[in-house]
């Protein structure tokens, strides 16, 4: 792992679905690592979701906002690197509000970047999304393609990327960016896409797919997502971007049928909104290969394992769905 | 002007150099127009700079922040269109602070966009900058080129553009974007680039140019800038971007010598920092032609006229330089 010496890591938004999986994975994989999580814990149940690592002496959870310079500077002073998962999209409010998204995703990133600059962090990794490219036009998107996000949550992530790149250009902050495809797996809140389908199916409700079911996405299991992000943090080239995905396009219909089948429910529960094909999204992940990363959990096995988890942990998601 | 009926315009950041020139130009050109300016008036002297139109019954000045949803909604409810000049870069603080830039330029734009969406404005024009393309690589930048800003002020403007485009894509807000080259002209605060050279030259101080003087930019007189922006607002195609510049590249050395000559000072006052060539910037303005716009004030005549103004209005800029 070269000359990098990341012993203590600040994980902003580390109590979310992606962030907490990353934290768990790192604590498991690296006995030397110290991790400080900064999270508002606004998502229902977020505080309890890190209880399993709460006793670990290498782990510290701080409740606070990424926009709070005082808190961020205090934490940043003690660490070697920052990784930012914090996004308003996943706080649970459910309504896309431009100013609120701008505050958490962009201003929050700016505050973290200022601190990373001030305390000369060895790495600053911004967790972004493949949706920053906008809907698929022709071939799967490469990292150098233009950013043309059409949704507000994707647009603020693209904006945060641009700001991060300017910090690299202006001040030499060693910025890395990951653009991942749609994540799924255990502990995904049921207001997020794949988990919502699983919860509906297990409850015997209809599984709703936007459009006529033909639009495709690339679904990546949470374990592979966070392993990919860790690879980029430790092995990626600062100043560059990495697409993370398994390169397999799954249609909405296929996804719904796979979920229903894994839940032991009839495919007749699938409902298409039938308003045209909808949008497809795809990223080309070939830059990940030289980092030694390859997805290990493939579709549809990953979906089946995930459904098993939701079946065994019904109280977990029912509690969070109510909140 | 087609089916557009913009009778009342909200001008955010309308007390700044560009914004106030736009307001003055519109009040002069259009007897029917009503203009409401929203501005924090944080720039030293900003309040007084619109005194000359203060008595005009068609003009209203509101001191307030673009991030204040209550104020913005109250004003937006009464107008047909919004134009946003508000940028932290020009408030006079002088230090590029990422979080502050993100708040004013991006969150502020988001608040205005939400209001434009809610009150179904006929147009939303975001005043951006040619620096969003980043330093010149080969040919002058076209509107479809990728955004690769390297400075913080340019990066937040690029970010605001991306957010505005997402509002167009998601909600059909009729967004227009202008990317202008470096402005100069009367009433430019002397902490901004061209005016700072003029003030130095008139004071008999050295005129400092970054780099070895060979890097080029396109300088556009304020009258042409605001005429171009008005053309785009009334005649531009929503959902698109317009480069505004006169397409003439002027080197830093040429600029300094022109300023010194116009001020009657020896060219020996020119100082180059001699740290390499520095960056050049250039935009291709050909999309402006079909809108019937062409610059009328050319370099170096525009510089000479501007120097005359600064000579005749020494108290104006000396007062603001002190503040």
- Measured between CA atoms, the residue of chain A closest to residue B101 is A107
Q: Which residue among A98, A111, A149 places its CB closest to the CB of B110?
A: A98
pLDDT at position B93 is: 65
Residues of B with CB under 8 A from a CB of A: 67, 69, 96-99, 101-103, 106-107, 110-111, 113-114, 134, 144, 146-152, 154-156, 158-160, 162-163, 165-167, 169-170
pLDDT at position B96 is: 83
Q: Which residue among A67, A98, A156 places its CB closest to the CB of B114?
A: A98
Partnered with residue A242 across adjacent β-strands are A178
Model pLDDT for residues B267-320, shown as the tens digit of each residue: 999 999 887 778 999 999 999 999 999 999 999 999 999 999 999 999 999 888
Q: Hey, what domains does chain A have and what are their CATH numbers?
A: 8-182+221-244 (3.40.50.720), 185-218+248-280+296-322 (3.90.25.10)
- Measured between CA atoms, the residue of chain B closest to residue A145 is B146
pLDDT at position B1 is: 41
Is there a contact between A102 and B114 if contact means CB atoms under 8 Å apart? no
The whole-angstrom separation of Cα B265 and Cα B184 is 20
Is there a contact between B106 and A101 if contact means CB atoms under 8 Å apart? no
Whole-Å CA distances, A115 to A65, A80, A164, A171, B98: 14, 11, 12, 12, 11
pLDDT at position B277 is: 77
Residue B91 has pLDDT above 90, yes or no: no
Model pLDDT for residues B224-239, shown as the tens digit of each residue: 999 999 999 999 999 9
Residue A226 binned pLDDT confidence (cut-offs 50, 70, 90):
very high
pLDDT at position B295 is: 96
Is there a contact between B147 and A169 if contact means CB atoms under 8 Å apart? no
pLDDT at position A277 is: 77
pLDDT at position A197 is: 97
pLDDT at position B297 is: 97
Pairing of β A81-84 and β A8-12: parallel
pLDDT at position B45 is: 80
Model pLDDT for residues B123-171, shown as the tens digit of each residue: 999 999 999 999 999 899 999 999 999 999 999 999 999 999 999 999 9
**Residues of A271-301 as b/e, b for ≥16 C-beta within 10 angstroms?**
ebeeeeebbbbbbbbebbeebebebebebbe
Residue B53 has pLDDT above 90, yes or no: yes
Tell me the shortest Cα–Cα distance from A109 to chain B, in angstroms: 8
Residue B322 has pLDDT above 70, yes or no: no
Contacts of B35 (CB under 8 A, 6+ apart): B8, B9, B11, B14, B23, B26, B27, B58, B59, B60
Chain A residues with CB-CB distance to B144 below 8 A: 146
ipTM of the shown complex: 0.94
The whole-angstrom separation of Cα B167 and Cα A76 is 34
Q: What is the arithmetic mean of pLDDT over A86-92?
A: 85
B277 or A219, higher pLDDT: A219
Tell me the shortest Cα–Cα distance from B129 to chain A, in angstroms: 15
pLDDT at position B218 is: 96
pLDDT at position A93 is: 65
Q: Which residue among B97, B151, B163 places its CB closest to the CB of A156?
A: B163
Task: With H, G, I as helix, E, B as strand and everything else as coil, classify residue A81.
Answer: strand
Cα separation of the two ends of chain A: 43
Chain B residues with CB-CB distance to A146 below 8 A: 144, 146-147
Q: Which of A93-97, A279-283, A294-298 has the lowest mean pLDDT?
A: A93-97
* CB count in 10 Å sphere of residue A254: 17
- Give chain B's mean pLDDT: 94
This prediction has a pTM of 0.95
pLDDT at position A278 is: 84
Is there a contact between A170 and B152 if contact means CB atoms under 8 Å apart? yes
Is there a contact between A147 and B147 if contact means CB atoms under 8 Å apart? yes
């Amino acid at each position: 792992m070269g000359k990098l010496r990341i012993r203590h890591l600040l994980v902003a938004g580390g109590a979310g679905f992606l962030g907490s999986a990353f934290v768990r994975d790192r604590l498991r994989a690296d006995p030397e690592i110290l991790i400080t999580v900064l999270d508002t814990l606004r998502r229902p149940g977020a505080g309890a979701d890190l209880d399993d690592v709460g006793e670990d002496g290498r782990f510290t959870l701080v409740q606070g906002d990424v926009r709070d310079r005082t808190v961020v500077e205090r934490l940043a002073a003690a660490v070697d690197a920052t990784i930012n998962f914090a996004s308003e999209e996943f706080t649970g409010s459910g309504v896309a509000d431009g100013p609120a998204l701008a505050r958490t995703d962009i201003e929050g990133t700016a505050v973290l970047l200022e601190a990373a600059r001030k305390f000369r962090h060895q790495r600053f990794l911004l967790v972004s999304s493949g949706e920053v490219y906008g809907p698929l036009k022709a071939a799967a998107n490469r990292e150098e393609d233009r950013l043309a996000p059409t949704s507000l949550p994707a647009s603020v992530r693209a904006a945060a990327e641009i700001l991060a790149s300017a910090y690299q250009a202006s001040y030499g902050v060693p910025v890395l960016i990951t653009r991942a495809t749609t994540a799924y797996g255990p502990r995904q809140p049921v207001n997020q896409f794949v988990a919502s389908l699983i919860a509906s199916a297990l409850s015997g409700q209809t599984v709703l797919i936007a459009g006529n079911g033909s639009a495709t996405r690339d679904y990546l299991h949470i374990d592979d997502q966070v392993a990919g992000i860790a690879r980029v943090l430790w092995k990626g080239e600062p100043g560059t971007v990495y697409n993370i995905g398994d390169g397999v396009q799954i249609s909405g219909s296929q996804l719904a049928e796979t979920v229903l089948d894994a839940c032991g429910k009839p495919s007749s529960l699938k409902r298409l909104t039938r308003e045209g094909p909808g949008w497809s999204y795809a990223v080309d992940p070939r830059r990940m290969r030289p980092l030694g990363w390859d997805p290990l959990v493939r579709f549809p096995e990953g979906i089946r394992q995930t459904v098993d988890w939701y079946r065994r942990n019904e109280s977990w998601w029912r509690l969070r769905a109510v909140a």
